[in-house]
Chains A and B, each alone.
Chain A
Amino acid sequence: MKDFQLGEFEEIVLLTVAILTNDAYGVSIKKEIEDRLNRNVSVGALQSALRRMEDKGYLQSSFGEATAMRGGKRKRYFNITNLGKQALAYTHDTRNQLWEAIPDFVLKVV
């Protein structure tokens, strides 16, 4: 079994790309994360994570359309790959396993 390593921020980015399906590009991903998680994301951190996961093969990208708002520059759309999906599933599974292994009373908020 391949070792899918995903950092916390990577996982969030990957999930967000999945949420946005065909509309995942820099600005939208950033906005989605900021809206949903209520945290600030710098372009640098985001881009760096995106490229890292592209190198790992979890994401693939292609150029999309250009808009005037972007100063005529094309968007880059990100799509999750099969490997990326497996990685997410793996992370999800391991988390679930861990959750399930916790005895009920431990997490009971008193």
Chain B
Amino acid sequence: MNTPPNIANQLLKFFCKPELLEDIQGDLEEEFAIRAEKGKVINARWWYYHQVFQLIRPRLIKKIEIVSNLTKETIMYKNYLKIAIRNLMKYKSGALINIIGLSTGVCAFLLIALFVKDELSYDKNHEYAENVYRLTIKNYDQNGDVSRQWAFASAGHAKRLKADYPEITHAVRFYCWAFPDLKIGEKLFPSEQVVFADNDVFDVFTFPFLLGNSEQAFREIKSLVLTESTAIKLFGNDWRDQDILGKTVKLSIGGREAPFQVSGVIEDMPEQQHFHFDYLAPIQFVEQLFGESTVNNVTGNYNWLTYLRLQPGTDPSVIEDAKDEFFDKYVGEFGNGLAAKDFYAFELQPLLDIHLQSNLEGEFESNGSLRQIYIFGTIGILLLIVACINYMNLATSHFSRRMKEIGVRKVLGARRSSLIKQFLTESIIINLVAFPIACILAVLALPYLNDFMGKTLTFNFLKNTELFTGLILLLLFVAILSGSYPAILMARTKLLQALKGESAINSSKWNFRNWLVTFQYAVTIGLIFTLGVIQSQMQYIRTSDPGFRKDQILQLSLSRRIDNLDVFKNEILKHPDIKMATYASRIPTGRLLDNMGASFFKNDSAIQTNFRLPYILIDEDFISTFEIPLIAGKNFTSAIDMEKDSVGYYLVNRSAAEALGYNNPQEIIGQRLSYGPYNGSNNMRVGRIMGVIEDFHFESLHSKISPMVMLKGEWDMESLCMQIDPSNIPEILNHIEETWVNFDPVNSPDYRFLDEMFAEQYEAEQRLGTMISVFTFIAILIGSLGLIGMVGFIIDTRYKEIGIRKVLGATLGDIVTIIGTRFLILIGIAFSVAIPVAYLLISDWLNGFVYHIHVNAWLILLPAIGAMALTILAISYQTIKASLINPVECLQDE
């Protein structure tokens, strides 16, 4: 075949400039034909290939498309950039509004994102975190309802479960024992938090060692592992140079001492961990101290924080389901013939869920809340969207100004895609300005947030490259989200309309823009509503009467060195401004966690109570110090002492009387009750109810007032509460400190005011309220900026209409009404969507309180009225300006 190779021709066609192709290929084929005639065809073909390859020269090949397009594009981008900057400079106020809106929105989002990310990162530092579970214990009452769920387990659980179930590879208990004093030589460090742990601790949790290692750490029973900061505390900043391994630290408690050897130093436990310990020591030490019966106990005495590491892939419910078997094996039946398994259950909490999802009795540290994360997360995203919408509104409201520009661009051949690119460029530029401002705002606001939330969040790009990339992605996302609608809208404009300067969107038509504004309204209304509900609930808490005196009460925590309570109290009372004082095992604003079994006598037959009846220990001055009314019977006298007396006497609250079947408190006086083995002994001493006091909110308003019984006894007093005259508080405190030193020279007194403790119960809610008000403020700010833009736009497009109306005799009020009505409709729609949604969310929050307000008409109407007031404010200026124009001015403009 005497034809040139096709592949070579295809190749030539591919790279050769089209205008050169014909003659070059012709030349090649001609010479090929000659060569093929003269010599071998195969040689001619080779030659042909060879020549084609040699034709790949810069002058002859096509320009590469991409390269040529890129240069064109850059030129256009330069132009877009120039126009965008000119526009920004020309409409400075508009640009400023836009930038303020975007930067506050982004700043709020950034802060929330930092917070949420931090909250979500708890306990992730542990290598086996995914297989570690905390063993929590559920208690059931006789009706089979859960009465309490404890974060801690009994001493015997961990060991027995580990021995019986091979799924558990490691188990560790933490026991925080009595805060011993530490002694190094002559130096004394009082009341340090030494935590005793099982040897498995380093296999369950990852604690990186700075000195020593995990194998050696617990080899001896009397070893002590320090954290970095406690090493500094005990040995000074240069502890690394001192060879502290093996040094002796004496643990001292109640006059007894035990020498411990430092066996390692671990890194400080990270902030994002749901517990923090300063010292770790082997648990065998306390086991030896407590003896078999305590160590093997599997019911009650929930003081042992227990974690289990399961084999990878094990379903934790396997262990939970084993509870019947477990309690049958180790407890069987109680003395009264009831099966123990009906009263207890295990629940295994995944380690990673504890911080956000667990809020049990006796949590080691106060945890975060998933609900809060959801609320903040939602608000953060909403604020970001609102800021984007704001940009869209403002950008489209400058629309009419840009119409002619777009028209001219279209005439000159701008495609839709290039117009879209142009407006996206503009939104990226605005964002490039807004983002650094947002970051600066965030950096400025962060210390307040940290302070407020008790966090140590940082905003450091160098340390956190993730943050940086995240920020860039966010910038692109915001720029595209906020720029897309204006871009598409403007690019869609018809050429003729554009050249005439007509708006492509008819302002009187229902369009996407209106939905955007409605959304903004909905967010604002929802936030105002939420804020209103939270604030009125907080107001309700502040003003509602808790049933006891919370002002001018000073609480002093007792130390175990104070042994003669009567003398101590008398000394304290010597100061004239300290009016009354009472000892108590627990005080109002705390929790009622001590509970024993009770039997009530009706007609000589004892009936075990079927409700939870917790107790507190008090003395005879309790009800007068806290000013709780006695509604029936008599108060304790100083002579009564339950430890020594043969008969017990009890005070109960009204709820307890009612729960025992006496709606008239007078009638219960003198009835017989036997309560608990209250003194460690098992004699259920029968006593009489001698008085009934009015119900009061011992626990916070989150929980229902529970029946309670008050005993008189001294064995477990935690604090001394004083009613004081606040005219000279420093002097009172001085007196207390001087008295204290005489009784306990080692520890320093720890006192607090009850109203502070009262407020602390609602700290989380208070925080939430403050955060929501800041966010609401931001939303309102952004929203009103958007409104101003929107109104300006409407007036722009209805300029002539306003003129004509004025010519025909419309008054200023008429015009305000015409423009305002549209917004009323928007508010109406936003209102009817936002309120139900917000109501659903907030009623969940409200139900967290047993005692709460009810959402009334005011709370519902307030946000709508607020939104309207805001709108009227925002539109009045623009509208009045528009309606004050001489109609001639707007009508002659053509």
Contact = CB atoms under 8 A, between A and B. Distances in A.
A71 B27 CA distance: 10
Nearest to B33: A69
A87 B282 CA distance: 101
Q: Would you list the 9 A-B pairs with minimal beta carbon distance, nearest first?
A: A73-B26, A26-B27, A44-B54, A76-B23, A70-B26, A44-B55, A42-B54, A43-B51, A71-B29
Contacts of A47: 20, 24, 27, 55, 57, 60
A47 B57 CA distance: 10
A44 B60 contact: yes
Nearest to B31: A27
A25 B29 CA distance: 13
B23 A51 contact: no
B30 A69 contact: yes
Interface string B24-65: 111111110110000000000000001101111101100000
B320 interface: no
Contact of B23 (A44, A67, A69, A73): A73
A92 interface: no
Contacts of A44: 51, 53-57, 60
A51 B26 contact: no
Contacts of B25: 71, 73
Nearest to B56: A44
B28 to A, nearest CB: 6
Contacts of A66: 26
B22 interface: yes
On chain A, which size bracket covers the interface? Answer: 20 to 34
A73 B51 CA distance: 18
Interface centre among A25, A45, A73 (most CB of B within 10 A): A73
Contacts of A45: 54
Interface of A: 25-27, 30, 42-45, 47-48, 51-52, 63, 66-67, 69-71, 73-76
A26 B25 CA distance: 10
Nearest to A29: B27
Contacts of A69: 29-30, 33
Given A48-B57, A51-B60, A43 B33 contact: no
Given A26-B24, A44-B53, A70-B29, 8 more contacts: A30-B31, A43-B54, A44-B54, A52-B59, A70-B26, A73-B23, A75-B26, A76-B23
A74 B33 CA distance: 15
Contacts of A30: 27, 31
Contact of B28 (A43, A51, A74, A75): A43
Interface residues of B, number: 23
A27 B51 CA distance: 13
Contacts of B28: 43
A34 to B, nearest CB: 10
B33 A51 contact: no
A48 B60 contact: yes
A25 B23 contact: yes
Contacts of A70: 26-27, 29-30, 33
Given A27-B30, A47-B60, A67-B30, A73 B22 contact: yes
A76 B19 CA distance: 11
Nearest to A77: B23
B29 A26 contact: no
Contacts of B27: 25-27, 30, 43, 47, 70, 75
Nearest to B55: A44
26 contacts: A27-B27, A27-B34, A42-B51, A42-B54, A43-B24, A43-B27, A43-B28, A43-B55, A45-B54, A47-B24, A47-B27, A47-B57, A48-B57, A48-B59, A51-B20, A51-B59, A63-B23, A66-B26, A67-B30, A69-B33, A71-B4, A71-B26, A73-B25, A73-B29, A76-B23, A76-B26
Contacts of B24: 26, 43, 47
A3 to B, nearest CB: 21
A73 B22 CA distance: 6
B23 A75 contact: yes
A70 B50 CA distance: 18
Contacts of A27: 27, 30-31, 34
Nearest to B51: A43
Contacts of B23: 25-26, 63, 73-76
A48 B55 CA distance: 8
Nearest to B3: A71
Contacts of A48: 57, 59-60
Contact of B22 (A42, A52, A67, A74): A74
